[in-house]
Amino acid sequence: MSIKEFFGFGGYSRPAEGYMSWQHLTFVTSLIVIMFACAVLLGRKYKDRKDKGKVLIWAALLIDGFELFKIVMLSIRGADPWHFLYDLPLFLCSIQLITIPLAAFSKGRVKESALDFVMIFGLLGAVMGTYFAGNNYGTYPVLSFDNVVSGITHCISGFSSLYIMFAGLASMKKRNIPITLGILAGFCVAAYTANVLLDYNYMFLMAGHGTPYDILFDLVDGSPVWYPLGVVGLFVIYIVSYYQIYYTVGMRSEAKKEAFARA
């Protein structure tokens, strides 16, 4: 395979192996295994909070670096300097391009909320953007620029989520829940506005396009009102459920520690 073919200049001559093909599943599973292993090893390696923060700084630089490189290459490939308008960080997974740097470089409640947001949505984005990305793997060859860079950036999000969990960096304070919801709401409004202006489908607020959102789209018969509201509603349900599970597991863990101490 030539460099030109890998980057897709002039279009891919190789046919796409297909969504949920063994090639697709093997490739993304390999990425997920590496992602999980790195998160566990690095999450347990550092004890000092400053050292823990350096890992997130590298994650922020890498995810934004890969994304910027992708935008530049796609603009060159398509000979369209305005291509970046269709690669804005307005997908659910793309929010991590902003929240991971916030988690790495900001301070106070903004940092706390960003860390929580990355932990809550990073792993979900990694799974959705690899195993369930029918829009990508049904269109491009597995080992192509589009899918390789997409797989890497999604797995950096997943790594950051797991790393924050294993390194004990999340606060999950109830007072920060409004900020977490505010971050999501702001991106949803921006994504929907961009969709209307550009006739696009950021955050899959207009249609499922080969993703599991197709189930919801079919349930509401493609309603331009109920479908996007349903997608946002699923996000909110996910956040509330995540917090509920987190607190439930945490309380049970504390109860076990207390019982063990008394024994």
pLDDT of residue 253: 57
d(CA 98, CA 121): 13
Residue 41's CB: how many other CB atoms inside 10 A?
Answer: 11
> Cα-flanking dihedrals φ and ψ of residue 69, to 5°?
-60, -40
d(CA 205, CA 227): 7
CA dihedral (65, 106, 173, 156) in degrees, to 10, reads 10
Position 167: which residue type? A
Consecutive sets of 10 residues in the chain, 263 residues long: mean pLDDT of each?
A: 83 90 96 97 90 94 94 79 77 89 92 93 92 89 94 96 94 86 90 93 89 91 94 91 85 53 50
What is the token pair recorded at 107?
Answer: 């301070």
- pLDDT per position as a tens digit, 87-98: 788 888 889 999
Distances (CA, A) of 9 to 6, 77, 171: 8, 6, 45
Which sign, positive or negative, has the C-alpha torsion 51, 57, 63, 66?
A: negative
Query: CB of 42 within 8 A of CB of 54?
Result: no
> Exposure of 215 by Cβ count < 10 A (0-12 exposed, 13-18 middle, 19+ buried)?
exposed
